[in-house]
Each structure stands twice: as C-alpha cells, then as structure tokens.
Amino acid sequence: MRVLQFSCSLIFLLLCSALCLSYAAPRFPGSVIKPEQISSSTVAKSENELYKTKYFTQILDHFNYSPQSYHKFQQRYLINDTYWGGAKKNAPIFVYTGNEGDIEWFTQNTGFMFDIAPQFKALLVFIEHRFYGKSIPYGGNKEVAYANSSTLGHLSSTQALADYATIIIDLKKNLSATDSPVVVFGGSYGGMLAAWFRLKYPHVALGALASSAPILNFEDITSPYSFANIITQDFRSESENCYKVIKGSWQKIEDTAKQPGGLDLLQKSFHICNVVVCLNVQMCKAIDNPVHGNDTFAKLYAAANIYYNYTGHAKCFDLDDHSDPHGLDEWSWQACTEMVMPTDGSNEESIFPVSEPSYKDWAESCHDYYGVWPRPNWITTEFGGHDIKRVLKRFGSNIIFFNGLRDPWSGGGVLEDISKTIIAIVAKEGAHHVDLRYATKEDPEWLKEIRSREIKIITKWLSQYYTSLFHLSR
Amino acid sequence: MRVLQFSCSLIFLLLCSALCLSYAAPRFPGSVIKPEQISSSTVAKSENELYKTKYFTQILDHFNYSPQSYHKFQQRYLINDTYWGGAKKNAPIFVYTGNEGDIEWFTQNTGFMFDIAPQFKALLVFIEHRFYGKSIPYGGNKEVAYANSSTLGHLSSTQALADYATIIIDLKKNLSATDSPVVVFGGSYGGMLAAWFRLKYPHVALGALASSAPILNFEDITSPYSFANIITQDFRSESENCYKVIKGSWQKIEDTAKQPGGLDLLQKSFHICNVVVCLNVQMCKAIDNPVHGNDTFAKLYAAANIYYNYTGHAKCFDLDDHSDPHGLDEWSWQACTEMVMPTDGSNEESIFPVSEPSYKDWAESCHDYYGVWPRPNWITTEFGGHDIKRVLKRFGSNIIFFNGLRDPWSGGGVLEDISKTIIAIVAKEGAHHVDLRYATKEDPEWLKEIRSREIKIITKWLSQYYTSLFHLSR
C-alpha cells in the first residue's frame, strides 16, 4: 500500500521518497529522520523522564450518529507535568497536535516545548493522530483498520481535530483545570493541524505555533512548481556543481536502466535493498567531495548516504524499513482523499527531470488503489486558503506561522503577516520546523532570535488571557 | 417517531408541542406557524415571483472517506436574482442557512432578505437543510433515509454547515462571482447555523445575522429553568389572571384525566383529534375574554384555538398533521443526538407544573427509540459556548445576534456585545426572529430601528470588504 510511488517512474523513484515530487503524497522531508538519528541532546533523557504514556477512549466518528460511529478506540497521548504550575494557578497547557506518525518520535523531536515549559510552568501534552502509532481504531488491530476504504474512511484531518478538542476538554475537566489556557504546537502536517485547530476551536486553544505548515499548498493557491524550484535553489546555493551533477544524472540513470543488466547496475551503485535513495542539502558536500568514487552514481550514493545511513553502519538502503516512524501507508490514504497537495511540477531549470503537473493520473491511481476518488477541493472548502490575507485580516487571532525558506514546503506556507496577531516568522536559512527542535549550543543567532520572538508572542497571548480571566466573569 | 413527547406525561402533552418543555426537542416556537397562516404581505407574491428552485448534487459525508460516504443526494436551494448587481460588480450574495424544515416556508417567512435585497443589489439564496423538505439523501426516499440510525446518522449540524460551504463555493464559481461577498442569515436553529457558519467558514461568509439563535442553550451554560421562566414572565406581563388560570388548570386536568371517562371529556373540551394543544402570548386575551365558555377548559381551548386554528375553520386539532412545514421526526433525531438543549426545568413560580431537569430519562428514551445515546457535550466541544465573551473577545468578527426577550429561547441567546464586531441586539418586546419577517406598516418603532441598525452593520461589513478587495492583491 504505497500510493506514494504511484506517480513516480523508476528513474523518479531514485530521488523519490523524502523529497519525492509525487502529486500529493510527498513525505514532509524535514521529518524524515529516523529515531536512531535523534541527536544526543534528545536521547540523553530517557523516555520515562520525558513523558508518561496515557490512553483516552475516543469516539470513532464525531460527525455522524450511526451506531457504527459510536465505536470507541484507544488514543494515545504523552504527558509531562514536571514543570506545570497546576490547576489552582490556571497554569498553561501546551499541546502538540500529532502528525502522521508515532507520537513518541514527534515528542522527542519537539524539544522546544520541553525547553520552554519551565519558564511558562506549562503542562506538556502530545496527542497521537488517529490511525498512527498506537492509536489504531478497530480494537488497535491494524489489519482491520487499514483493511479497506470503509475502515480507513475515518482517517481524516477533521476527525483528528475533533479528537484533539475532545481529549483536551476532557483532560482539563479531569485536572480541574478548566481555566488553564491551552496553546497548541505542531510542525509540518502537525503545524497545519495546529493552525486549523486555533481557527476551528478557538474555545479550546488560545493560540497556535504552526511551524512549517504548508496550509496554502492546496488547489491552485501555490504553484505546483514551487516545491521543485525551492529544492533546486537550495542545491544551487550550496554548489552549482552539485546541482549540475544531479541534474545531469537523470538521463544517465534512464539510459542505464534501459540497458541489459542496467537495473542491477543501478542497484549495486546505490546499494539499495529495494529501490530508493534520498537527497538532502548536506548531500552537496558529499557530491563535491565524494569518498566512494568519482563517477555520477558514486557521487549520488555518497549524497544519499547522508540521508539514509546517518550512522554509517547500514550496508544498503531498505525501502521497506518498518522502523520508519512515519505512517506512510496511512499518509498515502490521506493524500489520496483530502491532503491533495500539488507539488509535482518541475520546469526546465529544476534539478529534477521536467514534469508537468498531472492531477488526473494521480486521481486515477488513487481510485485504482483505494476505490475512492480524491476530493481535491475539500481542504480549501473546510479550512480556506484562498485570499487568506483578506479573509483573516479581520477574523481570528493568535497564530504564529514559522517557515524556513530552505524548506521546499515553505512555498505553501504563510510568509507574510496577516494581522497584528496572525504573524509570519520567516527564516531565510531555516529548514523544516527547525524552530521546534531542542536548543543546542551550535544554534545560529537567527534561530535563537526566532525562538525568543516566539516565546515573547506566546507570553503576550497568555498575559492577555489572564487579564480577561480576571476581568470577565464566566 | 415522535421523540418530542418522550418526556411529556399526558397532562404535559396538553400544553406540549410548540412550547413543550421537553428536555431537548422543543420546537422552536416562533417558527410554528403553518403555511396557511402566512400573512397576506407574504402570500401576495407567488412562489414563482419569489424564487426559482434548483438542486445541487451534494456529497453524503464530508468528514469520512468510506465508499458509502461518496453517495450523492439532491439538495434543494431557492434563488432570486431579481435585484442582483451581478458578478462583474462583485455584488453581494445573501444566503439563508436553512433550518429544520421545508426551505420554502423559511423563504416565505424571511421577508427581511427580500426587503433589503434591492438596496444591496444582492443575490438571494435559500439553502434547504439536509434530510428536510425535498433534500432527502438515499435517492430522495424518506422511507429509506429515515429508516434507522444508520441512514439518519448523516443528519447533523456539522454536515449541514459543510453542505452550505460546498454549495456556496460551487455556486460562486459557476456564476464567476468568486469575489462577491457572502452574508449568511438565519433564524432560530437556522440562526445558530448562520453564527456557527461565520465562525467555522470565515473564508466563505463575511458575516452573519443570527436571529434568535440560542447557541448558549447547551450543557450547563444556560439554566434549564430559563425557558419556562421566560414563558411565565410573558404570560404574567400580559395578564396575571391568565397566568393563574393556566397555572391552576394543571391539577384540574390531572384530576379529570384520572376519573372514569376523564380522557374523553378532556378530548371533547379541547376538540383534539389526537391529543395536543398549544399556547401563545396572544392566548391570554382569549383566556381573559373567552367566547366558548367560562370554565377553565373552555378558556384553555379558546387560547389553543389561537395557535392551532388561526383561520377558525378547523374543527379539531390534529396532532399528526403532515402539512406542518417543520420536520419534527428529523428534529427529534437531532435532539436525541447532538442538539441536546436543556429546557425542561420548571420551578414553583412557573406557569407549568413543577419539573426537575431530567437528562437521564431523556437520554434513555432516546436510546430506547433510536438505539444511540445523545452526545450532550458535542455541540460545546465543536462550537464552544462556555465563556463566550472571553473566547470571542479577540477572535472572530461580523456577527449580529438578535434576540427578543419575549422569546423563551432568548435565555440561551447572546444578549451582550462580545466585541466591536460581534454585536448583540436585544428587543425587550421582541418575539422569535421577528426581525427577519417582512416589514409591514404596523411594525412598531423599535422593530424598524432594529432592522435599520442591522442594515447599517451589514453595510459596514460590505464596505470594509470592498476596500480590502481593492487594496489586497489576491
């Protein structure tokens, strides 16, 4: 069940996966770091120090009242009350709105929340997205939950947001913390969910930090060429030579693949268990200074090594590696139904082979695979996106949109302030939700400044909230 | 299928229906006027002059992607383009968000929109709520659509709101009127939908006039005694004698019912085809000056006559009258699932018999009847309500909440300004969404003033919108 690859030809697959230009199911690239790659500052704290694991009995369908919709499932959330100031002081609650994957991974990689919890005396809660990790409906049985479109049908962003609202309200009630303000955090798809959550559930969340959230990468709002263009720019700015090597490699790979034994040769060249390789900005260094040889394939292998063999111990790349924390199969379902994000355009200048956006092919492959058609207009119908400056200029408040311009997803991000309280923070050198990582001594000045600006804004939200709490009778 | 009566004892039934204090399914009283009672100013215009009937192919489930959710149905909407300034001028579109009933009835009784359309050069659109009128899923087959909880499951407020968003976006596209601003209007449940629509779909609607929308009549936000208290106050302010007659009649009715032949006697006294009678503020005049006799029952009959026999021609009251434009069966379903509005408390002073709020009984009767349990916390989870002043003080904009304090539903309405753009208009003498009716020469000064204030506010929204449209690039 790998819709991800539907629109990828073999040659395309070689650069596919993390930075894949598939129509609608690219993996959010900055997230594709495996658990074993977590930096030492993260793993220094053991799981038990970071959080406790809890489960909430969640309803299967919030928007339907058929008897089937009343089915319940166990939804996982992680909680840390080390720094919390408590319910009596109405101390804040910081909630991470889980992405398309195991919530433990996102928790361990959102060090920012742990870093700032002490100064805010905040309770930390990380909620897992339904159908991912251990939050599987149908009795936790993945075989049943993923079996077909009828069971997968309940995997959608609107259901996930309603899950978060339901859990947060219940949790606050149980903690007698009804008046504790809630701020939501999220990166990538989780960032989209955080922003949408503030817009749809202002009565549950006071504000949102939406990091690298491409909420405008739907329909015709963002150019489908933007994704490839940003990657191209990333590579060119690192090294024009690197860009040329990769750009020139496509024809060579295609020619080789066509020759007798060509696929075997490619497989050996790339040390691929199945067939895939990934790119990264850092890879340019490997291409410019290859240690494995000097031909095109050797350079590409060296580059790929950076992404998929961080430790240097893996002998080959395993496409079907099930330790990947991201729920690719489930994301493919989401991409084939509602998360239709056009990123498959690639023009002459692009580092990728030229490619015309092809919604039709994508939609048909989705239908062939799942038996349902995508709803490409749904996200903009439900959450908007068109004319966002005009729509939100006098509506809504308290959202920070962070974007790093190195991140190919930044093309679909909110890059300009919308109002005094819906704010865009843009980092020229920034990567995918880099602000949410643990602070380290090596952090550049701009990153430190961005984080302290985020803290300042959140402080203001909370301060206004406490003033209102004091002045407005309930 | 009449859950409405679940919590009503026989004696209670006699004053039940329009002003029924059932736990959660009271009919919105101001709406309970039958088509034949429409004032002459309304019926002067024939249906064909008022609107054209159209149908939109709507998706059954917006929040689920199972193959079943892709089923389509024909949703009716009525449209009037007589006054529209057209797409080229980005002239506005006024949309009525349909209630629990036949949309034709609501259209004919929302003369305000017709009255103001010329000055705004507005297109008028009235969208029917799914499962009501002629907007029946499952091929328009009511027998199937209402058959059980599985099919009825798709009848919910969130689905209805998503229907409205989908139709409006599609309609604007077809009219090449993407930049035409949309203002939504609604009264009673339709008013709740209008307010929620502005909050949830600000990218579709610029503002909302929510008339007599009891969005706070959920959970513990509004006292369950408020409904009966307001009715009591209404009667007492009309006539203390009237209040005493009605209050004193309960014991008499109960005693009579217990006697041999008592039920027959009651039936004759009230000329009831089945068993029901209704009250109205006007009824006090009939009680104080009865024409049918002077005993208690005769006085009550005279009062009931005003409500259920407006023309004076009906010989008895037919509880199962299917010409009622309101979808009672469907509303019972909504009340038994999500629209759980506690209004069943009645204290010593109340004009009704003393009654303790009894959610448990209500919930059990719903479960017995439909096989599903109510979700009493859902509406506040999805739409909020608690601490509304604090939550919306710095979030959202452009909503008018009108309430008439004569209306028992006003207890659950927004009666104070929330911000500079979320405004409460309160009329001491006002009844249920009286502002939305056609203007007549007999309208009191206060009503004229309220309508002109509403017009002024809507004018401001539109003016701000056009300024933004001009200044903000898309």
Dump pLDDT digits (tens) for B200-241. 999 999 999 999 999 999 999 999 999 999 999 988 988 888
* Concatenated DSSP letters of B240-255: HHHHHHHHHHHHHHHH
Band of pLDDT at residue A27, cut at 50, 70 and 90: very low
Cβ–Cβ of B169/A201 closer than 8 Å? no
| Best A56, A57, A58, A63 residue to mutate vs chain B (most B CBs within 10 Å) | A63
Question: What percentage of chain B reaches a pLDDT higher than 70?
Answer: 78
Amino acid at residue number A120: F
Taking Cα atoms as reference points, which of A235, A258, A261, A259 lies closest to residue A248?
A235
Between A390-404, B190-204, B278-292, the lowest mean confidence (pLDDT) is in B278-292
Closest residue to B150, CB basis, from A67, A371, A381: A67
CA angle A406, A407, A411 (to 5 degrees): 105
Mean pLDDT over residues A241-255, rounded?
Answer: 86
CB contact under 8 A, A391 and B200: no
Token pair recorded at residue A214: 């491409």
Percent of chain B exceeding pLDDT 90 equals 65
Assess whether pLDDT exceeds 90 at residue B258.
no
pLDDT given at position A329: 82
Has A188 been annotated as catalytic?
yes
Is the pLDDT at B24 greater than 70? The verdict is no
Query: CA of A255 to nearest chain B CA: how many angstroms apart?
Result: 41
Averaged pLDDT for residues B397-408: 96
Scan residues 247-306 of B and list those with Cβ closer than 8 Å to A: none
Mention every residue, 6+ apart, whose C-beta is less than 8 A from residue B202.
A199, A384, A391, A392, A395, A396, B396
Instruction: Check CB contact under 8 Å for B382 and A62.
Output: yes
Residues in chain A: 474
Of B154, B203, B383, the CB nearest to A391: B203
pLDDT band at residue A312 using 50, 70 and 90 as cut-offs: very low
Tens of pLDDT, residues B285-303: 666 776 666 676 776 666 5
Chain B residues closer than 8 Å to A158 by CB: 62-63
pTM of the model: 0.87
Q: Catalytic: which of A212, A407, A410, A435?
A: A407
Quote ipTM for the complex: 0.86
Chain-chain contact of B201 with A68 (C-beta, under 8 angstroms) = no
Range with lowest mean pLDDT among B39-43, B299-303, B396-400: B39-43
Chain B residues 380-409 with a CB less than 8 Å from chain A: 380-398
Phi/psi class of residue B263: alpha, beta or left (left: φ > 0; alpha: ψ in -120 to 50)? alpha
CB A130 within 8 A of CB A76: no
Contact B202 A392 (CB under 8 A): yes
What is the model's pLDDT at position A292?
A: 61
Quote the pLDDT of residue B273: 47
Q: In this structure, what token pair is assigned to residue A65? A: 């009242």
CA distances for B383 relative to A166, B197, B380, B425, angstroms: 12, 10, 5, 21
When mean pLDDT is compared across A2-11, A271-280, A404-413, the lowest value belongs to A2-11
Nearest to A202 among B204, B395, B465 (CB): B395
pLDDT of B19 > 50? The answer is no
Q: Position of tokens 């206004």?
A: A464
Rounded distance, CA B406 to CA B230, Å?
7
**Nearest CA among B203, B245, B204 for reference residue B95:** B204
Touching A: B residues 147-176, CB under 8 Å: 149-156, 158-159, 162, 165-166, 169
Following CA atoms B432, B435, B438, B442 in sequence, which dihedral angle do they give, to the nearest 10 degrees?
90
pLDDT in tens, A195-226: 999 999 999 999 999 999 999 999 999 999 99
B234 compared with A165, residue with greater pLDDT: A165
Tokens matching residue A89 = 């002081």
How far is A50 from A438, CA to CA, in rounded Å? Answer: 13
Q: Is B474 on the interface with A (CB under 8 A)?
A: yes
- For position B304, what pLDDT does the model report? 57
Cβ-based neighbour number of residue A173 at 10 Å: 11
Higher pLDDT, A363 or B43: A363
| Mean pLDDT score of chain A | 84
Task: Compare A48 and B169 and report the one with higher pLDDT.
Answer: B169
Percent of chain A with pLDDT over 90: 65
Question: CB count, 10 Å around CB of A429?
Answer: 12
The reported pLDDT for the residue numbered A5 is 27
What was the pLDDT predicted at B254? 83
Shortest CA gap B12–chain A (Å):
29
Q: For A10-16, what is the mean pLDDT?
A: 34
Please say if A417 is a catalytic residue. Answer: no
Please indicate whether, in this complex, the C-beta atoms of A64 and B61 are within 8 angstroms of each other. Answer: yes
Average pLDDT, chain B: 84
CB-nearest partner of A391 from B202, B389, B391:
B202
> How confident is the model at residue B239, as a pLDDT?
86
Query: What confidence score (pLDDT) does residue B251 get?
Result: 85
Of B150, B385, B474, the CB nearest to A66: B150
Residue type, A297: F
Judged by CB atoms closer than 8 Å, whether chains meet at A162 and B392 is answered as no
Residue % of chain A over a pLDDT of 70: 78
pLDDT value, residue A136: 97
Cβ <8 Å between B63 and A393 = no
Residue A473 clears pLDDT 60, i.e. is over it: no
CB A203 to CB B169 under 8 A?
no
A62/B391 Cβ within 8 A? no
pLDDT average, residue stretch A254-283: 67
The confidence score (pLDDT) of residue B246 equals: 85
B146, closest residue in chain A (CA to CA): A66
The partner residue sitting opposite B337, judged by closest CB among A65, A201, A382, is: A65
Confidence (pLDDT) at B10: 28
- For A271-297, the pLDDT digits (tens) are 654 433 334 447 666 667 766 666 767
DSSP state letters, A68-131: GGG-EEEEEEEEE-TT---TTTT--EEEEE--SB-HHHHHHT-HHHHHHHHHHT-EEEEEPPTT
- A166 to chain B: closest CA residue: B381
Catalytic position from the list B407, B410, B433, B435: B407
Query: What residues contact A142, with CB distance under 8 A and at least 6 apart?
Result: A136
| B214 interface with A at CB cutoff 8 Å | no
With contacts defined as CB-CB under 8 Å, which chain A residues touch B150? Answer: 66-68
- Residue tagged 């790349």 (tokens): A317
Q: Which residues of A touch B464 (CB under 8 A)?
A: 394
Q: Which of A7, A188, A212, A346 is catalytic?
A: A188
Give yes or no for A467 touching B (CB within 8 A).
no
Backbone angles phi and psi of A182, in degrees to 5: -115, 130
Q: Mean pLDDT across the stretch A85-96?
A: 98
| Residue A327 or A71, more confident | A71
Q: What's the CA gap between A63 and B231, in Å, rounded?
A: 34
**Mean pLDDT (whole number) for B329-344:** 93
Question: Best of B3, B59, B61, B64 to disrupt the A interface by mutation (most A CBs within 10 Å)?
Answer: B64
Q: Which residues from chain A sit within 8 angstroms of residue B204, using beta carbons?
A: 381, 384
Cross-strand pairs, A326: A101
Which of B65, B377, B398 lies nearest to residue A372, judging by beta carbons? B65
Looking at residue A318, its amino acid is D
Q: What is the mean pLDDT of residues A309-333?
A: 60
- Between chains, do B381 and A165 touch, taking CB under 8 Å as contact? yes
Contact check, Cβ <8 Å, A162/B382: yes
Catalytic residue check, A386 = no
Verify whether the Cβ–Cβ distance B63 to A159 is below 8 Å. Answer: yes
Residues B384, B387, B393, B397, CA torsion sign: positive
Interchain proximity A386–B159, CB inside 8 Å: no
Tens of pLDDT along B359-379? 999 999 999 999 999 999 999
Residue-level pLDDT at A391: 97
Given the residues A129, A154, A326, A432, select the one marked as catalytic: A432
Q: Tell me if A203 and B385 make a contact (CB, 8 A cut-off).
A: yes
The tokens describing B336, both together, are 């038994």
- Residue B26 predicted with pLDDT over 70: no
Structure tokens at A50: 């970071």
Residues of A in contact with B388 (CB under 8 A): 203
pLDDT of residue B40 exceeding 50, the answer is no
Sort out which chain A residues have CB atoms less than 8 A from B165's CB and list them. Answer: 381-382
Characterize the bridge pairing of strands B52-59 and B72-80: antiparallel
A66: chain B residues, CB-CB within 8 Å: 149-154, 372
pLDDT tens string B267-277: 777 665 443 33
Q: Which of residues 107-146 of A touch B (CB under 8 A)?
A: none
The residue-averaged pLDDT of A255-281 equals 66
Q: What is residue A427's three-state secondary structure?
A: strand
Q: How far is B386 from chain A (nearest CA, A)?
A: 8
Per-residue confidence (pLDDT) for residue A229, from 0 to 100: 94
Tell me A187's DSSP state.
E
Single out the residue of A97, A208, A221, A106 nearest to residue A159, CA to CA: A97
Pairwise CA distance, residues B338 & B322, whole Å: 25
Which residues of chain A does B461 touch, with a Cβ-Cβ cutoff of 8 Å?
none
Chain B residue numbers touching A338 (CB-CB < 8 A): 65
Q: Tell how far CA B50 is from the center of its chain.
A: 21
